[in-house]
Amino acid sequence: MDFVTQAKKMGVRSLLLQGLTFLSVLTSAFMIWKGMSLFTNSESPVVVVLSGSMEPAYYRGDILFPGQRTFGDRGWRGGGDIPIVHRVMKVHTERENGKQFLLTKGDNNPLWIQRDEIVGRVKGFVPYAGMGTIWMNDYPQLKMGLLGTLCLLSLFSNE
């Protein structure tokens, strides 16, 4: 009941304003990410490398940026929820319909993947910058703690 009385005292507008301040933290983060997605024309504009399978090129904790899809030696496959990075070893072009199949290193299945399954090509990378994401995945309390801190800070700031 205390929250309700306090809320009434503050007025609806004040509550809405505070709500907006808090929400704009979340929405601007999402919109920036979406904007980058649209710009790079790929589902996930930025990806953190989670495993060590791409060493010595990419280590655990690197962030990768996809570019436009062209030939490249590191293709990036969107299969399921998490994009996977593979090295493209061979390209096979069907003569009839021009469909291209790529064989990537590290695929567990013997099938070649189709070109349109490729989400993007790794254009650049920032080493170690993704460690934060890995820690947050390994320790979910960290993620909750960070989110909670951000919310509290936005509620207490004065304009």
Binding-site ranges for another protein (CB under 8 A): 13, 16-17, 20, 23-24, 27-28, 30-31, 34-35, 37-38, 42-43, 156, 158
Q: Which residues contact 146 (CB under 8 A, 6 or more apart)?
A: 136
Of residues 61 and 118, the one with the C-beta less far from another protein: 118
Which token pair is 145? 């703690």
Nearest distance from residue 10's CB to another protein, in Å? 8
Residue 24 or 114: which CB sits closer to another protein? 24
Least separation in angstroms between CB 118 and another protein: 12
Q: Is 115 exposed, middle or buried (0-12, 13-18, 19+ CB in 10 A)?
A: middle
Task: Considering the complex, state which of residue 3 and residue 156 has its C-beta at the smaller distance from another protein.
Answer: 156
- What minimum distance in Å lies between the beta carbon of 46 and another protein? 14
3-state helix, strand, coil in the chain (%, to 5): 40, 25, 35
CB of 14 to another protein, least distance (A): 9
Q: Which residues pair with 78 in a beta bridge?
A: 83
Contact by Cβ (8 Å): 19, 26: no
Nearest residue (CB) to another protein, 57 versus 147:
147
